[in-house]
Structure 1
């Protein structure tokens, strides 16, 4: 299983992408929920962070919608290939 650390972008502007808002509107999801649902549908295990109880609940409430192939392709096209967090292969275990 592939883990997706910090899948919501950590202040990268990802959640401001218009395509995420459009897809979210179509499925009744927030842009963040769209990103998390995309990760689960491609077989990854997203590991989002939040200190806000409402956002934490919203992060879990993604399984009532299914993104179609067009949605998945549009989201995949946003990839920059740029890592925004640490490399899990070199993460120090405590």
Structure 2
């Protein structure tokens, strides 16, 4: 009896969402890192701790929920803006 030849599956298309999300995460890292120009050191450290936590969670979403990585990066961008503008207005960080 003949042996059946195994045929490889065709390659699956690469999804852009996790890559785009991680690029956006890297962009927010730069924003969080230079926040020390306006914000006090403790606020900058707190922002970076939040970023690391969201980044760790985004790494676990790579294959299961790739679109959530982009949403998390957008959420980090909004959080950065709210914290810096709110701190500058309410706590006079820019002085």
Q: With structure 1 as the length reference, what TM-score do the two structures score? A: 0.29
Q: Would you tell me which structure has more strand in proportion to its own residues?
A: 1
Pair member with larger Rg: 2
